[in-house]
Structure 1
C-alpha cells in the first residue's frame, strides 16, 4: 500500500476493510445459490449486500484517490456537473484536510457497517447451510459468474419462494412485479424461470403480452400446473382482466400468475405482496458499471479509468440501459482519452435534452418520451415485445457506433437503431 493511501487511512484499516469485504462477499454469493424462504434471512441478506457495496465504494475511493489531483480538472469539473439535474451528487472539497477527514469518515463508516453485519452473520451462515441449493444450468452459471444478472438477491428469492410455494388456497395466486423502465423486470423473472427446479415444478410456462390478454381461452390451457407470465406496456382494462382471470381459474391447483409492468395500478390485481423494483443504490450501480466496463481486465491496472467509472455512474443516474450501452462501448477501448471523450459526450447529451425538453434523459424515457442521443439519433421508447425487430431491415447497435465514433456509417434508408440488447434471455431490458 503506497504512502499516499497510508497517510489518509492507515494500512491496517484498509487491510481490515478488504478482509471484511471478502468474508461478506463470500456469504452473499453463497446465499445467492440457495433457496431462502425465511423472510428475516432475506432482510439480513439485503443488509449484507448494502454493506458490501458501500465497502467496495469506499475501497475504490481510497485506492484511486492519489489520481484525483491529476484528473479532477478533466474528469470532474464541478461547474459543468452543476448544470445537470442528476439523482446522484458527490460532495467535492478543495481543502486537503477536509478531504482527508471525509475519507477517514467514509472508511470508519464502512468498517462499522461491515463489522456490525459480520457480528450477526454467524447465525445467518448456520441457517443458510440448511437452505436447499438452487441448481442452475451450465449456461446460467456462466452468466451468473460473469455478473450478467446483477444483484436483486432478495427479489429473486422472493419470486422463487412464490413460485414453489405449495397448497395456496383458492384460484391461481397473482404476483405483480412493478418498476420503472429498464430496471430489469423481465430479465429477473426470465432468470428465475430458467432454474431447473422452477421449470420442473410447472408443466408449462406461458409468456403473454398484455395486448393479447383476452386471447387465451379455456381450450388453450394445457393440463398440469401452469405458470403464466404477462407483461403490460400500458394500463389494464378491468373487464379484460376479469375475463383473463376467470379463464386462468380453470387451471390446475398450484398454477401461478406473474404480471409485469411500470404502472402502479397493477398492484390491485395481486393476491400476494407486490415486488417493487427500483434503481440500484449508487454504490451498487457503480460496482455493476465497473464490472461491465472492464470485463476481463483488472481495474487495478487502470486506476484513472476506474476513477472515471464513478463519473459515469453519477451522470447516468442509475439507469441500467444507458449503463450497459456505455460499458459496451468503453470496454472495447481502455484508453483514458476515449473514456473522457465519451463522458463529455454524455454530459452534452444530457444538457441538450434538459435544455430542449426540461428533463433528464432518464425521466424522459420513464415518461415514454423520445431522447436525443447526439445530433443524429433520436431514441423513441418502444413498447415491450417478445419478438425480434424486423429482420428485413439492417440493424445498428448504438454502442458499436459510440465505440467506433467516426468509423461507423449508418445504413441508408430505414434501419433499426438498437440502444442495447441484454445478454441474458429474453435479450431485452
Structure 2
C-alpha cells in the first residue's frame, strides 16, 4: 500500500513539475516573441521610411540602386516574418485547422503544389521556423544598419514631384515594388548626351515574361515630369508599325522617346532598317525596346533591364494588400492563413501579376472563410488538372498562346486562351468578368464568350480579355483542348 501511495505521489509531483516548466517555457517564449515582434516592427518602420523616401528621389548611382534592391527584398521578407509572428497564435485560437479539416476537398491543393511545411507543427518545424525567423530578422537588421551612407547620399538626390498612386498601398491603384528597376530606367532617360559628341543612338532593352509589368513600368516612368519635359514627344509603337512607318517614308523630328514593343524576334536585316530610320532622330533621342524575347536584348546599346516575377515574400505581401484592401487582416486570422496558402499556390505556379490581381479581386468581394477556401480549392484543382493533362502549369500554357482548361473554376467544361491583339471578338461575343464567372457560374453565356480577366486601373490601363469556348464543342487535333486556330498572348 505504501509503495502504491509513493508511486502515485511521485507521478503527481512529476506532472506538477512538468506543468510548471511548460508554463514557464510558454510564458518565456511568449515574452521573447513579443519582444521580437516589437523589434521587427521598429526595423520595418525604418526600412519602409528609407524605401519610400528613395522612391521619391532621382537616383543615378548604381551602387545605391543595388542597396535599394537589397533593402526592399529584406523588407518584404521581414513583413512575411511579422505576419507569421503576429497572426500565428490568432490562427490557432481561431481553430483554423478544424475549419480546414471540414473542407476535405481542399486536400487537392497539397497534391498539386508542395507546401513548405505541413499543417501539424512538429518540434522540427518549430526549429526550422525559428531559424527562418532569425535569418529574416538578421538580414533586415544588417540591411538597415548598412544604410547610413545611403541615407546621407540620398539627401543629395533631387526630389520627384508627388503623384497620388506613388504612395504605396492605400488602394490597388499603384505600381508595386520595382524600386531599383524604376530608378535604372529613369537614370537612362535623364542622363545627358555623350560630351564627346558621339551621336550613337541610346537603346535600352526591357525584357521580361508575360504580364510581369513591363509596360506598366514604362508608363509609370514616362509620366514623370522630368521625362515629359526632356522629350518633345513620346511615341509608342508596335514592331510591325515601325516597318510600316519606314515604308511610308515618314520622318520624325525633335528629341523623341520611342517605345517599341516586339511580340516576336526580329531578324538582323529588319533591325538594320529600323535602326537606320531611328538614328536620324535628333541627338538626345532615346529608344526603349519592350519584349518577352530575350534575344531582342542584343539590339541594346546599354545593359538591359530584366524584369522577373516577384519573389514569394513580395507576392505574399502584395496579394494580402490586394485581397484585404482597407480591411485589417488581424480581424480575420483564418483568412490570413488562406491568403498565405493562396500566395504559395500562385507563386509556385508562376502566376502573372494579372492573375494575382484577378484572384485578389474575387476574394476581396466576400470576406468569408468558406468562400475563400472554396476559391482556393477551385484554383488548386485547376492547376492540378492542367499539370495532369499537359505537364505544364496554366501560366506556361497562356504564355505559349495555348488554351487552358478552366472547368474547375467555371463548373462547366470550358477552355480559355488570351485574345490576340487584333482579334475584335470583344464587341461581337457576350462578355463576363472573371469575378462574375467565379462567384456565380450561372452567368456563363451559351456558346463562346469573352472572359475579361482584369482591367488595369493605372497607366497604361490595359485590358486582358480571353476567348472561352466549350470543350464539348469539338476538338483540336493538335492540342488536348479545343480552340480557334488564331494564337496570341500578351507581351
Structure 1-normalised TM-score? 0.91
Using the TM superposition, give the Cα deviation of residue 82 of structure 1 relative to its aligned residue in structure 2, in angstroms: 4.3
| Structure 1 unmatched runs, 5+ | none
Residue 40 (str. 1) matches residue 58 (str. 2)? no
Counterpart selection for 1:11 from 24, 27, 34:
34
Larger RCO (CA within 8 A; separation ≥ 6) = 1
Q: Matched residue of 1:10: which SS? A: helix
**Contact conserved, 1:226 with 1:251, CA < 8 A, in 2?**
yes
CA distance in 1, matches of 2:28, 2:372: 25
Cα RMSD for the two superposed structures: 2.6
* Greater Cα shift, 30-39 or 102-111: 102-111
**Counterparts in 2 of 1:316-331, with a 5 A limit?**
316-317=346-347, 318-319=350-351, 320-331=353-364
Counterpart selection for 2:432 from 387, 396, 405:
396
Using the TM superposition, give the Cα deviation of residue 93 of structure 1 relative to its aligned residue in structure 2, in angstroms: 6.7
Residue 83 (str. 1) matches residue 111 (str. 2)? yes
1:344 equivalent in structure 2: 377
Residue 55 (str. 1) matches residue 73 (str. 2)? no
User: CA 1:182 to 1:377, structure 2 compared with 1: closer, same or farther past 3 Å?
Assistant: farther
User: CA 1:127 to 1:361, structure 2 compared with 1: closer, same or farther past 3 Å?
Assistant: same
Q: Matched residue of 2:185: which SS? A: helix
Counterpart selection for 1:373 from 387, 406, 419:
406
CA distance in 2, matches of 1:187, 1:144: 17
Counterpart selection for 1:25 from 42, 48, 65:
48
User: CA 1:269 to 1:4, structure 2 compared with 1: closer, same or farther past 3 Å?
Assistant: farther
CA distance in 2, matches of 1:388, 1:279: 30
Residue 421 (str. 1) matches residue 455 (str. 2)? yes
Q: Matched residue of 1:43: which SS? A: helix
CA distance in 2, matches of 1:142, 1:50: 18
Counterpart selection for 1:186 from 215, 224, 228:
215
Q: Matched residue of 1:146: which SS? A: coil
| Structure 2 unmatched runs, 5+ | 1-25, 465-491
**Counterparts in 2 of 1:379-390, with a 5 A limit?**
379-384=416-421, 390=426
Q: Matched residue of 1:170: which SS? A: coil
Q: Matched residue of 2:117: which SS? A: coil
**Contact conserved, 2:108 with 2:377, CA < 8 A, in 1?**
no
Q: Deviations over 1:12-32 (max 9, x none)?
A: 111101110111011111111
Residue 215 (str. 1) matches residue 269 (str. 2)? no
Q: Deviations over 1:72-112 (max 9, x none)?
A: 466598963442257xx413373533333233222221221
CA distance in 1, matches of 2:92, 2:387: 28
**Higher gyration radius (CA):** 2
